[in-house]
Amino acid sequence: MYSPYPGFDMFGGGDNPAAEEGAQALSGQSLPDGAEKADQQALEAALRTVYDPEIPVNIYDLGLIYACTMQDDGDVDITMTLTAPACPVAGEMPQQVADAVAGVDGVGAVTVTLTWTPPWTPDQMSEDAKMALDFF
């Protein structure tokens, strides 16, 4: 988990901490000038490698990624949510997402911002996720 203050638990501590609105995780570093940037499909593929440990569907198909935008310099900004504020992986999931996307060739620094607006609902899942979880 990334924290700008060593020893400070930005997610509130405890056994099931509530993740704070606006909490961020950072990974990667800026691309050198002139480096080739990754495309959107590569970003989506990386997001699909991250799974909620309690749900056998990746976070992208669960609808937890609200935005994934690559800047002109190759840096990536991601806005995501979790299924619930007290999710057991609230302190880990944003960093896992940042690390997964930062590992893609052609990606610079990655910033993942956690939001609770709008709240996640099963309606945000892809059709594949709904079928995998028998939500029909």
What are the residue ranges spanned by the domains of the chain? 24-132
Q: What is the CA radius of gyration of the chain?
A: 15
Which pLDDT score, from 0 to 100, does residue 81 have?
A: 95
Which pLDDT score, from 0 to 100, does residue 7 have?
A: 32
Angle made by CA atoms 96, 15, 135, in degrees to the nearest 5: 60
Which pLDDT score, from 0 to 100, does residue 84 have?
A: 84
Task: Tell me if 77 sits within 8 A of 113, measured CB to CB.
Answer: yes
Which pLDDT score, from 0 to 100, does residue 87 have?
A: 78
Which pLDDT score, from 0 to 100, does residue 16 have?
A: 44
> Tokens representing 51?
């799974």
Angle made by CA atoms 29, 65, 107, in degrees to the nearest 5: 20
Which pLDDT score, from 0 to 100, does residue 18 have?
A: 60
Which residues of the chain register pLDDT less than 70?
1-18, 136
CATH class for domain 24-132?
A: alpha beta
CA distance 38 to 106: 4
What is the value of pTM for the model shown? Answer: 0.84
Residue 21 three-state SS: coil
Which pLDDT score, from 0 to 100, does residue 19 have?
A: 74
